[in-house]
Amino acid sequence: MLYRELGSTSEKVSILGFGAMRLPVLDGQYDKIDFERTKELLHHAVDCGVNYVDTAHPYHNGESEKVLGELLKDGYREKVHLATKLPSWKIQKREDMDFYLEEQMERLQTDHIDFYLLHSLKKDYWENLKSLGVLEFLDHAVADGRIKYTGFSFHDEIDLFFEIVDSYKWDVCQVQYNIADENYQAGIDGIRYASSQGIGVIVMEPLRGGSLVNGIPSEVQELWNEAPVKRSPAEWALRFLWDKNEINTVLSGMNTVEQLEENLKIAEAGVPESLTQDERDIIREVRRVYHQRMKVLCTECGYCMPCPEGVNIPGNFKHFNSAHIYNDVENARMNYYGLLNEKERASNCTQCGECEWTCPQMIDIKGTLKEVSKTLEK
């Protein structure tokens, strides 16, 4: 296993991290984790050198933290850097922060969290947490030893990312980044900025929830097939990330031994700046093909906003495009419900047409929002 220093923490972490959001389950039920299969996966990963384990309060409806607490007994807790996250959307008062941290330490059966992140920061979550004193909470929790390092995971636009980075002396940040998402949310510019500030960079969704390895469009598969060096889509995706000095560890939600073994093998070659320029060009062409599959030619300029009903028009189009680009409606639907609040969703459009007068791309916004609702809403 290869290791990199995580920002300015001086901690050396495996370049492959163990993500505990998609653990094996029983009977297809998300909150019923298959304990024995998860034990086999986690222990084998740690035995092979994986030393960064990531979970969060809501994963598997709270069961992820509990199962990890059991599985990290017998010396495994001391072998890993354990990360979990404060459920940002549940915080209504300052006392809630301590309540959830204490609950999570109890679930995880530990007296401290190595990396404690503010979960899924968006503008409204961030503003609320700031007003309730979350930065002072982090200071106190570090001072009393409950938290070793602080951080945040992010799901919003890059301007907010810069604001959050500059607001506090963070140790780490966790961002979505992959072959297709070069400029999505924080993007490569955010990654480079965080790294320049000494903040460790943890990448999530390296395979975009599996969309980059399942149901691959034929045009993309042809590009992979024509490459001089033959690699699986998963290998291309992971090597793309590890090629960048600024990325310290990449989380993978592995739920089979086969996936784990494949990722461990790929990680052996995960050296920065190890791809050739020709290989980077192939990846760039793959990205172009994915982007050409966009269903709605929305540039997110914002001229259609604000909607008088509160509908997040660009946000709806982003998830609608994602469903078509990656042939993955289920993953797009999960993000649609997870990242847009009820008022922002397409079904709240009253068909007033105000937005269409100002759209420079002349998009049929009313008709397209109907399609979004039909495709993504249950």
Q: What is the pLDDT of residues 142-160, one digit of tens each?
A: 999 999 999 999 988 899 9
Residues 6+ apart with CB under 8 A from 86: 57, 97, 100, 101, 116, 117, 118, 119, 134
303 belongs to a structural domain: no
For residue 289, tell me if it sits in a domain.
no
Q: What residue numbers bound the domain in which 211 lies?
A: 3-283
Instruction: Read off the amino acid at residue 72.
Output: L
Q: Give how far the C-alpha of residue 172 lies from the chain's centroid of Cα atoms, to the nearest Å.
A: 14
**Does position 136 have pLDDT exceeding 70, yes or no?**
yes
pLDDT at 236: 96
pTM of the model: 0.85
101 and 201 share a domain?
yes
Q: 197 and 336: one domain? A: no
User: What are the pLDDT digits (tens) for 158-194?
Assistant: 999 999 999 999 999 999 999 988 888 899 999 999 9
The contacts of residue 6 (CB under 8 Å, 6+ apart) are: 12, 13, 81, 171, 172, 200, 202, 248, 249
pLDDT digits 0-9 by tens, 332-343: 999 899 889 999
Q: Identify whether the C-beta of residue 301 lies closer than 8 Å to the C-beta of residue 313.
A: no
Quick check: 249 and 203 in contact, CB under 8 A?
A: yes
DSSP lists the bridge partners of residue 33 as: 25
Following DSSP, what letter does each residue of 10-65 receive, concatenated? --EEESEEEE-SS--BSTT-TT-B-HHHHHHHHHHHHHTT--EEE--TTGGGGHHH
What three-state secondary structure class fits 202?
strand
Identify whether residues 278 and 335 lie together within a single domain: no
pLDDT at 360: 67
Residue 348 forms part of a structural domain: yes
Q: What is the rounded distance in angstroms from the CA atom of residue 336 to the CA atom of residue 319?
A: 6
Q: How buried is 67 (Cβ within 10 angstroms: 0-12 exposed, 13-18 middle, 19+ buried)?
A: buried
Q: Provide the Cα torsion 115, 331, 211, 247; round to 10°.
A: -20
Give Cα 296 to chain centroid, integer Å. Answer: 24
Identify the CATH number of the domain in which residue 20 sits: 3.20.20.100
Q: Is 183 found in the same domain as 98?
A: yes
CB 239 within 8 A of CB 269: yes
Alpha-carbon distance 332 to 210, whole Å? Answer: 12
Domain assignment of residue 297, yes or no: no
Co-location of 202 and 323 in the same domain: no
Q: Which of 244, 263, 283 is the last residue of a domain?
A: 283
Query: pLDDT at residue 345 above 80?
Result: yes
Residues 170 and 78 in one domain: yes
End-of-domain residue from the set 283, 300, 331: 283
Residue 188 lies in a domain: yes
Same domain, 222 and 82: yes
Do both 185 and 318 map to the same domain? Answer: no
**Does residue 321 share a domain with residue 261?**
no
Number of domains in the chain: 2
Query: Does 176 fall in a domain?
Result: yes
pLDDT band at 28 (very low <50, low <70, confident <90, very high): confident
Query: How far, in Å, CA of 12 to CA of 14, rounded?
Result: 7
pLDDT digits (tens, 9 = 90+) for 115-130: 999 999 989 899 999 9
In this structure, the answer to whether residues 250 and 365 fall within a common structural domain is no
Burial class (CB in 10 A: 0-12, 13-18, 19+), 219: middle
Dihedral through CA 363, CA 369, CA 375, CA 377, nearest 10? 160
Task: Give residues with Cβ within 8 angstroms of 304, minimum separation 6.
Answer: 313, 314, 355, 356, 358, 359, 365
Residue 301 lies in a domain: no
Query: Which pLDDT band, with edges at 50, 70 and 90, does 359 fall under?
Result: confident
Residues 317, 359 share a domain: yes
Q: Give me the residues paired with residue 14 across strands.
A: 3
Structural domain contains residue 163:
yes
Considering Cα of 282, then 286, then 289, then 294, what sign does the dihedral take? negative
pLDDT tens-digit map of 200-245: 999 998 988 787 888 788 899 999 999 999 999 999 999 999 999 9
Rounded to the nearest angstrom, the gap between the alpha carbon of residue 347 and the centroid of all alpha carbons in its chain is 26
Q: What's the alpha-carbon Rg for the chain, to the nearest Å?
A: 21
Work out the widest C-alpha separation in the chain, in whole angstroms.
64
The model's pLDDT over 274-309, given as tens digits with 9 standing for 90+, comes to 999 999 999 999 999 988 887 887 767 777 989 999
Q: Which residues contact 45 (CB under 8 A, 6 or more apart)?
A: 18, 254, 260, 264
Statement to judge: residues 102 and 202 lie in one domain: yes
